[in-house]
Structures are given as C-alpha cells and as structure tokens.
Amino acid sequence: MRAPDMPGLAVLRYRAADYQVIRPGRFVICAVSGVEIPLGELAYWSEARQEAYRSAVEATKALAGV
C-alpha cells in the first residue's frame, strides 16, 4: 500500500458525475490494482466507495467484489 503523503498523490472527493480536488496532485491510486492513474486519465470511480479505478475492468471487479 502506498503512503498517503506520497509526492504527487492527489486526494479527491468523488461525486456522481465529477470529483472535487481536496489536495492537488498528479495522480490517484487504483483501488483494485494499486497502479497510479494520472488525473488526466481518470474516468472511473465509485462515489459510494470513494475509490478510483484504472479502467472499466477494475471498476467491475470492485463492484462485483472480485
């Protein structure tokens, strides 16, 4: 697991259609794979779980509990 104070790590609040930047940064961490997701590429997240996902594959896995 990565440290929350990792340089470049953004902190976001995920909303239904967008997200709010709480702490600016260059990337977030995928909740399933653990890989860095550049903010410019972030397209999948869960408002309910407050998690980011690298792609639809990881989002589906998270929602299915796999």
Domain layout of the chain by residue ranges: 11-64
Q: What is the pLDDT at residue 1?
A: 46
- In this structure, the strands spanning 27-29 and 19-23 are unpaired
Question: What is the structure's pLDDT at 4?
Answer: 65
3-state secondary structure the chain: CCCCCCCCECEEEECCCCEEEEECCCEEEECCCCCEEEHHHCCEEECCCCEEECCHHHHHHHHHCC
This prediction has a pTM of 0.89
Q: Report the C-alpha dihedral over residues 54, 24, 10, 45, rounded to 10 degrees.
A: -40
pLDDT along the chain (66 residues), means of 10: 77 97 97 97 97 97 87
The pLDDT score that the predictor gives to residue 32 is 97
